[in-house]
Each structure stands twice: as structure tokens, then as C-alpha cells.
Structure 1
Amino acid sequence: MNEQHYCGIDHDKDGGLTHLGRIVIDAWLFGILPETETCQGWSSSQMQNLYEKVHAAWEDSAHLPSRLPPELQQRHSFLYEQRILIAKRSGWNTELGDDD
């Protein structure tokens, strides 16, 4: 059985606003990864390890952006606003369908 590899946030659907893409964005937020690291080609186990680090980083703020320190709140807003713009430019539709 072949292990799957992550396509990288820049090649992910919806501008990277997927479960794995948000892990990468949050890793940038907390300084776990530099913003130049897109995780392209990362294995499932590497992504799982990254998820665990990101999850631990969120614990102090109860996983809520509103409970982040002000400088991290601003950085969070900036990073996600960038990704939302990228997603919209690539045709991301924010409307919920009947099955959503």
C-alpha cells in the first residue's frame, strides 16, 4: 500500500482552506514552520506530527482565535485573510449547498 503525501498548501483545494491546509497556516501562526514551508510532499505521518504540535500550541488559548494574545490575533487575521483572498481568486464558493 502506498502512503499518500500532502500536495502542499499552494496546491491544495480552496486556497488551502482545508483541514490539512489550516494545520499549515496555524503552524506558520505559531512559528512552528516558516511561511516558506508549504509541506508539499509531506507524508501522512509528518502531517500527523505537525498536527500534534499545532494542537498543543492552541491549548493555551482553548483553540479560540479570540483568546490569542493581541499580536497573534493580528497575525491569525492576516494569514487567514490572505488565504481567503487566494481561495476566492481560485473560484472558492462560500455558499452552502443543500448537502452542507
Structure 2
Amino acid sequence: MSTLISRNVTLSDRRTSIRLEPEMWDALGEICTRESRSLHDICRQVDRERTQSGLTAGVRVFILSYFRAAATEEGHAAASHGNSAKAPPDP
């Protein structure tokens, strides 16, 4: 039994489906909320910018890239979390 969840998305000229793990759908939902963009809009962007992989793989790479960028010191500071390297130690 697969743990992948299928959802339909509308690209510029067609409707297609993407199968992702529940955690990936959660992450993509967080990105949509943070960026104030729809799922369809993000998938259209990924579809336009991908060069080799299929749409589903392109979405996974997009999610990974998004959170990797946020995990840098600059990305962390831009998210108003401050510099994690300078955080005080836990008591």
C-alpha cells in the first residue's frame, strides 16, 4: 500500500496530478502560506523552471531548495529568528 497522496493541479494549459508523501504536501502547504501563493501557482512556476525532471520530482526539489535556503544564517535571520549560532545555550 502506497503512502503517497495524489492531488490535481492546474498548470497553464492542462490539469495533471502529483503524488507526494503527506509530509511533502504539508511542506508545500507551508510554502504556499508563507509566500501567499496558491498550490497551482507554485506548481506552474516549478513546471516553467524545471529542465530535466518530471513535475513531481521538480516539486520535491523546489521544496528542498526552499527550506535549505531558509536554513542558512541569512535565511534564518530574514525569517526573524535571529542568528542560531549566537543563540544562548539552554539552561
Q: So what's the TM-score if we normalise by structure 2?
A: 0.33
Relative contact order, CA 8 A, sep 6+: which one is greater? 1
Structure 1 or 2, whichever has the larger Rg, is: 2
Q: So what's the TM-score if we normalise by structure 1?
A: 0.31
> Higher helix share goes to which structure?
1
> Higher strand share goes to which structure?
2
